[in-house]
Amino acid sequence: MTDPSPLPIDAGLLARFRAAGPRITWRPATDGPRPPRGRSARIAHLHDEEARIESWGRAPTGGLEVESGPLGALVVLLESDRRGSLPSVASREAGADPGFPQGALRAVWGGAPVPGGPTVRDLVDLARYALT
C-alpha cells in the first residue's frame, strides 16, 4: 500500500510520478543570474529535459519557482506530494524574470491562494510529458 497523497491524481499515474522522482538528477545552477536573496537555485534533469528550480523556505511554508514545462510541473507535484499539501500556483510570463526567460510557475505553500492560476489538473497534464 502506498502513502496517501493530497494530490487528486489517479493512483497509477501518481505511482509513475513518484517513481520518476528518484530518477531526477540535480546540479547547482551555475549559469544564468544568481537567485534572489534567500533562494537557492538548482537544475533538475530527467531524460532529455532540464529545468531551473529556485526554492525558498521550508515546509509548511516556502515555495518553488520552476521553469514552465513538464519537468517543472513534475517537481511542483512531487513537492506537493512530499509536503502533504497543495500549493497556490501562479504562472509568470516569459521574460518577467531573467532566471526564467521562457516563463515560470510559482508554487507557494502556506500563502493566500492565487486566483486564476494553473490548477492541479493543469500541472498533471503538463507533467505527464516529463515521463516519456
Specify burial of residue 38 (Cβ count, 10 A radius: 0-12, 13-18, 19+).
exposed
H or E stretch including 26?
strand 25-28
Could you give the residue ranges of the DSSP H alpha helices within the chain? 11-20, 70-83, 120-127
pTM over 0.85: yes
Tell me which range, 16-25, 54-63, 86-95, is most confidently predicted by mean pLDDT: 16-25
Measured CA to CA in angstroms, residue 78 lies from 95, 114, 127 at distances of 26, 20, 10
| Residue 113 DSSP code | P
Q: Are 125 and 77 in contact (CB under 8 A)?
A: no
Tracing cell 528518484 back to the chain, one arrives at: 22
Residue 3 counted as domain residue: no
Residue 116 counted as domain residue: yes
Residue 84 counted as domain residue: yes
Residue 45 counted as domain residue: yes
pLDDT band for position 7 (cuts 50, 70, 90):
confident
Residue 4 counted as domain residue: no
Tell me which residue range forms the domain holding 25.
11-32+41-131
Residue 97 counted as domain residue: yes
Residue 49 counted as domain residue: yes
Domain count, the chain: 1
